[in-house]
């Protein structure tokens, strides 16, 4: 899997709502949805969005949505080490 719980990730694919590509999300937890693209996460967007309901095709206004792991790219920061000094020697 690309992501793990509590990661920040970038949406790299969104077939139903292409304007979501490039959005940053927080990966909350595994979804109960079964998807042909593999494992699915529940993710949280920074602002509410309209998502199509897979059952009724109606719009759902929410900050949280299901997203396949394959459609997410985790954002990794620099590794943190305790042995790095706070100051640079002159």
Domain that holds residue 58: 8-74
Would you say residue 21 lies in a domain? yes
Would you say residue 86 lies in a domain? no
Would you say residue 42 lies in a domain? yes
Would you say residue 57 lies in a domain? yes
Please tell me the pTM assigned to this model.
0.77
Would you say residue 14 lies in a domain? yes
Would you say residue 81 lies in a domain? no
pLDDT number for residue 28: 97
Q: Taking a C-beta distance cutoff of 8 angstroms, is the pair 49, 63 a contact?
A: yes
pLDDT number for residue 90: 61
Would you say residue 30 lies in a domain? yes
Taking the chain (90 residues) in runs of 10, the rounded mean pLDDT of each run is 94 91 96 93 94 80 94 81 61
Domain count, the chain: 1
């Amino acid at each position: 899997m690309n992501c793990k719980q509590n990661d920040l990730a970038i949406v790299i694919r969104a077939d139903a709502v292409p304007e979501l590509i490039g959005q940053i999300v927080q990966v909350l937890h595994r979804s109960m949805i079964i998807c042909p693209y593999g494992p699915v996460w529940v993710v949280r967007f920074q602002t509410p969005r309209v998502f199509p309901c897979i059952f009724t095709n109606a719009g759902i206004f929410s900050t949280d949505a299901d997203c396949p792991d394959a459609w997410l790219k985790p954002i990794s920061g620099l590794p943190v080490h305790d042995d790095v000094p706070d100051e640079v020697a002159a």
